[in-house]
Amino acid sequence: MAIEVSPSQENLRLKDAARYLGVSRPTLWRLQQNDPRFPQVIRITSRCCVFRKSDLDAYLASKLEVSA
pLDDT tens sequence across 4-45 = 555 557 999 999 999 999 999 999 999 999 999 999 999 999
Provide the pLDDT for residue 64. Answer: 84
What is the C-alpha to C-alpha distance for residues 54 and 16, in angstroms, rounded to an integer? 14
Give the residue with greater pLDDT, 67 vs 64: 64
Indicate if the pLDDT at residue 57 is higher than 70.
yes
Give the pLDDT confidence score for residue 4 in this predicted structure.
Answer: 56
pLDDT digits (tens, 9 = 90+) for 37-51: 999 999 999 999 999
> Domain residue spans in the chain?
12-67
C-alpha–C-alpha distance, residues 45 and 8, integer Å: 19
